[in-house]
């Protein structure tokens, strides 16, 4: 009968190349080591498939879900050849006076492949994300906007709200001090944006105040 064997070895001292045949690695008690050496998502980041896009540090308003175009939007156009796997969205207060409200993700499932008059997106400011390998990695196949100059022609449908992220408070730059808050949703690959789809954060009220925002995703071939 065939027996799977592992070699007791310190994995921090080795680095293999693509195509190498290797022994399974075991710890000092013979236990198989599976992804314990490096942090979660290390391998996909190392392969250059992790991306981050952030607004200016001065932030942007988070639009109301009913009638305002996205200020931050992640779009996977038809023909991209990849699925966008969403991992994290963060929004932190920058300036102004906000109101109470809930923040969540909206979706559009018929975005097509490009910008045109009468298309779902008739204007879209396509910004350049940062690869998880600083100064390296792949070029993103996604379209991401972090500048707020977008026009979405299919607004006003509350059923597009599909994922609640967090809340905003009565924050202001002056007045009663508030504790530092870091509203961040660890989505952890539970949302996949296939080609022809887009997601964006929105609020139950117009935030008015500006929020520095970051969205993080990986790109996996379809």
Q: What is the pLDDT of residues 37-80, one digit of tens each?
A: 677 888 889 999 999 999 999 999 999 999 788 999 999 999 99
Strands (E), the chain: 6-8, 24-26, 50-54, 60-61, 73-76, 82-95, 101-108, 121-123, 130-131, 143-145, 151-152, 161-168, 184-193, 197-203, 210-221
What are residue 143's phi and psi, to 5 degrees? Answer: -110, 130
Nearest one of 63, 72, 90 to 205, comparing CA atoms? 63
Per domain, the residue ranges of the chain are: 1-37, 43-221
pLDDT of residue 178: 65
Rounded CA separation 152/64 (Å): 13
Residue 165, number of CB atoms within 10 A of its CB: 19
Residue 138's pLDDT band (boundaries 50, 70, 90)? Answer: very high
Q: Element (H or E) spanning 45, and its range?
A: helix 42-46
- Both structure tokens of 149: 């100059």
Stated pTM of the model: 0.86
Contacts of 12 (CB under 8 A, 6+ apart): 37
Nearest one of 40, 69, 55 to 144, comparing CA atoms? 55
Q: Is 42 helix (H, G, I), strand (E, B) or coil?
A: helix
User: How much is the average pLDDT of 151-171?
Assistant: 86
Lowest mean pLDDT across 22-36, 102-116, 172-186, 200-214: 172-186
- The secondary structure of residue 159, as a DSSP letter, is G
What average pLDDT does the structure give for the chain? 86
Strands (E), 114-205: 121-123, 130-131, 143-145, 151-152, 161-168, 184-193, 197-203
- Both structure tokens of 145: 């906007």
Residue 32's pLDDT band (boundaries 50, 70, 90)? Answer: confident
| Per-residue pLDDT at 24 exceeds 90 | no
């Amino acid at each position: 009968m065939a027996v799977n064997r592992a070699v007791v070895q310190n994995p921090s001292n080795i680095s293999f190349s693509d195509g190498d045949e290797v022994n399974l690695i075991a710890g000092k008690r013979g236990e198989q080591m599976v992804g314990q050496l490096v942090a979660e998502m290390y391998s996909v980041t190392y392969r250059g498939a992790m991306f981050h896009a952030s607004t200016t540090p001065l932030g942007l308003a988070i639009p109301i879900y009913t009638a305002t175009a996205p200020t931050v939007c992640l779009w996977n156009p038809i023909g991209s050849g990849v699925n966008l796997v969403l991992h994290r969205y963060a929004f932190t207060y920058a300036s102004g006076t906000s109101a109470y409200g809930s923040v969540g993700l909206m979706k559009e499932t018929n975005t097509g492949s490009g910008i045109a008059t009468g298309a779902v997106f008739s204007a879209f400011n396509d910004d350049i994300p940062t690869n998880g390998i600083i100064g390296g990695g792949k070029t993103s196949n996604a379209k991401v906007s972090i500048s707020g100059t977008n026009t979405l022609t299919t607004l006003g449908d509350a059923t597009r709200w599909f994922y609640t992220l967090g809340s905003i408070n009565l924050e202001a730059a002056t007045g009663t001090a508030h504790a530092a808050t870091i509203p961040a949703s660890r989505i952890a690959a539970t949302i996949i944006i296939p080609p022809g789809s887009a997601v964006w954060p929105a609020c139950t009220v117009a935030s008015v105040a500006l929020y520095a925002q970051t969205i993080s995703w990986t790109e996996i071939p379809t």
